[in-house]
Structure 1
Amino acid sequence: MKSGRLIQVLLLLQSRGRMTADELAAELEVSPRTIYRDVEELSAAGIPVYADRGPAGGYRLVDGYRTRLTGLTTDEAQSLFLAGLPGPAEALGLKEFAAAAQLKLLAALPTELRSRAEQIRGRFHLDTPTWFRGDEPTEHLAPIADAVWEQRRVRMTYQRWGSETVEREVDPYGLVLKAGTWYFVGSGRTYRVSRVLALEVTADTFDRPEDFDLAAFWADWSERFEARMYGERVTVRMTRSGLDKTQYLLSGYQARVVRELDPRPGEEFGFPTESTRHAVADLLKFGADVEVLAPNDLRADIAATIKAMHDVYNGAKLPAWFR
């Protein structure tokens, strides 16, 4: 809208000082002619916008014309700009609003804080997704966020692990972004946004529990979820080299359990895993730095896998399906 663009022109001049019509036009994605008209309207409204002529000219505000934020320390100003997450803001449909909010903050900061904030924004970038994974579909994220904010019940078709689908009515209390994956918490349970197949935001409202703490709920749920996922233990022993590799080759939870157990090289300990089948893949990463002691089925599976690998690399006749 035009009124919003006029405010953006004003804030850009406050935060960056002198700017040419071409620079303003490029920033706001309009024509220079539009900027000429906007500046005229700002001047007519009593905003002290001045035009400097010549090669180094441009538009600027009279010195001292700005709004200042009082009581904001340098560290506080820096932390606000470190909190800017363009990816999540875009997923929530708030990219333009987040950019406008940062611009307003930058324009209102005193000169000494503004320069530090600009340095933070130019030298630190927060990238939340994990490596080697594409973006998950989040087509229902924005309406879920609206439902969270407006405290409206949602009706959804949800795909559980595997292929089973269920119908749910949920009171959404909050959204969580974990390592690039969106979840929402509702009615005491956690749902992955990418598994929502269909969604309807109903007209029914709900009362959010006054004592509900989203961060505390998520921390408790995450801990219980990891413990449940890695609920099995197999008995192994590792060399010093193997123990050192746990922080690189295992999930965060598995590595933390081993670190808390603090086994000595060659000492037996319970290795956390999802299942015997998963343990084969987990433990083969360590090569000869680990020995499985129990259960016997897992020990046999590891030995059979190693023998099959030996056959592959020693010219043994391979089955037809392998070729």
Structure 2
Amino acid sequence: MPTNKDAEMRYRIIDRCLSNRLRKYTIYDLVNEVNRQLLDLQGKTVSKRTIQKDLEELTFRPYCAPIESYKGPSRMHYIHYADDSYSLYNNDLSVKEVQTLQSVIDMLGRFRGSTTHAWLEEVLSNLEYRFGVKSDTKLVIAFEENEQLQGLEHLSNLIDATLHHQAIELAYEPYGKTKRICPVHPYFMKQYNGRWFLLGLNSEKRRIETYALDRIKEVKSLAEEFIPNEGIDFGAYFEHIVGISVPYDSLEPIELILRFSEKRFPYVSSKPIHASQKLLSTPCTISISVIPTPELTQQIFSFGPDVEVLAPESFRSEIAEKIKATYNLYQTV
């Protein structure tokens, strides 16, 4: 493989062109395409002679690429791989996958230049270099982002620790409580409602705990052997959860039945509360299979008088008690 990074970039572009069975390339087409991508990726171009040398180099060892030239109907000479299945870099990405990758790079590219997302620069550069696709600088998608949110400076370190199985020590200060030191083996990171959370094993309490990044005051590496995740599927872990809180006392989902007002029901139908949401035969009524969490309760309260909990009776009573407590607050005014 080439020792020169610029040459390798050209080789990859040439390889993608010659592997494309849907288009024919003359030497001029090849030069134009290579320069188009180089200009976008590196801000510079090369000469026709450079591309001709590249093609010649690729036919020799260690590449031995089966490059050949043939004459087309209009007496133009085209260049391609003699073997239709050949690819120098064995890139098995389909056209659809390349398009998806481009979309991902475009989406992540909007975070470039932010000190809290500096770790993305290396990731994006590697993707662009490896696949020759570059983020579009024109913003066409707006993301909800709270620039005042605390704790984002820890995001890259926590991602690194999670990926590299590094035990860490967190200085953690929950709302209204004193700061505590937590030995954590990080397993999973999740964003919810504009906030980031780390899930990991607290090696002192021997249980999975959730840590909000905006409550983390300090992160340190811990000289402790990493305890691997023993088969916890976090996709299934949150299957019956609205939000991020996982209760320790009950992990059994309930069948929650909710009835909405006519004006609110279309909104809930188009934006389900949970993936398990089903429309029932009773007008404006849905069911969801969930584990009760504080976030679920908050979401139900966000609908105000437009929703009624019909079942189960235990959860209905719990909501009713909270409504009474709220009502009593206003009676003292």
The one of 9, 12, 19 aligned to 1:11: 9
Kindly provide the amino acid, as one letter, of the partner of residue 186 in structure 2: P
Matched residue, 1:217: 234
Matched residue, 1:95: 120
1:176-191 matched pairs, under 5 angstroms: 176-178=190-192, 181-187=195-201, 188-191=208-211
CA distance in 1, matches of 2:88, 2:182: 49
CA distance in 2, matches of 1:20, 1:79: 18
Paired residue secondary structure (2:167): strand
Paired residue secondary structure (1:169): strand
For the pair 1:206 / 2:220, whether they are aligned, the reply is no
CA distance in 1, matches of 2:225, 2:161: 9
Deviations along 1:117-146, one digit per CA (max 9) or x if unpaired, are: 67xx659989695x3744633112222233
Kindly provide the amino acid, as one letter, of the partner of residue 166 in structure 1: R
For the pair 1:262 / 2:276, whether they are aligned, the reply is no
Matched residue, 1:244: 266
Matched residue, 2:182: 168
The one of 158, 180, 186 aligned to 1:144: 158
Kindly provide the amino acid, as one letter, of the partner of residue 242 in structure 1: R
Structure 1 position 196, deviation (Å): 0.9
CA distance in 1, matches of 2:258, 2:294: 15
CA distance in 2, matches of 1:127, 1:135: 21
CA distance in 2, matches of 1:292, 1:203: 49
Structure 1 position 94, deviation (Å): 2.7
Does the C-alpha gap of structure 1 residues 87 and 145 become closer, same or farther in structure 2, counting only changes over 3 Å? Answer: farther
CA distance in 1, matches of 2:97, 2:300: 49
CA contact (8 A) 2:109 2:137 kept: no
CA contact (8 A) 2:167 2:223 kept: yes
CA contact (8 A) 1:156 1:167 kept: yes
CA distance in 2, matches of 1:76, 1:11: 20
CA distance in 2, matches of 1:155, 1:69: 42
CA distance in 2, matches of 1:237, 1:146: 45
Does the C-alpha gap of structure 1 residues 303 and 197 become closer, same or farther in structure 2, counting only changes over 3 Å? Answer: closer
CA contact (8 A) 1:11 1:103 kept: no
Q: TM-score, normalised by structure 1?
A: 0.54
CA contact (8 A) 2:241 2:293 kept: no
CA distance in 2, matches of 1:235, 1:175: 30
Kindly provide the amino acid, as one letter, of the partner of residue 83 in structure 1: V
The one of 163, 167, 171 aligned to 1:157: 171
Does the C-alpha gap of structure 1 residues 300 and 146 become closer, same or farther in structure 2, counting only changes over 3 Å? Answer: closer
CA distance in 2, matches of 1:20, 1:75: 19
Deviations along 1:129-172, one digit per CA (max 9) or x if unpaired, are: 5x374463311222223323442221111122444432201112
Structure 1 position 191, deviation (Å): 1.9
Aligned residues: 255
Structure 1: tracts of 5 or more residues without a match: 29-34, 40-48, 53-59, 108-116, 309-318
Kindly provide the amino acid, as one letter, of the partner of residue 119 in structure 2: L
CA distance in 2, matches of 1:291, 1:225: 18
CA distance in 1, matches of 2:164, 2:308: 55
CA distance in 2, matches of 1:7, 1:142: 27
CA contact (8 A) 1:239 1:265 kept: no
Deviates more, 1:87-96 or 1:135-144: 87-96
Percent identity among equivalent residues?
A: 15
Does the C-alpha gap of structure 1 residues 8 and 194 become closer, same or farther in structure 2, counting only changes over 3 Å? Answer: farther
Q: TM-score, normalised by structure 2?
A: 0.53
Kindly provide the amino acid, as one letter, of the partner of residue 173 in structure 2: Q
CA distance in 2, matches of 1:122, 1:171: 37
Does the C-alpha gap of structure 1 residues 236 and 297 become closer, same or farther in structure 2, counting only changes over 3 Å? Answer: farther
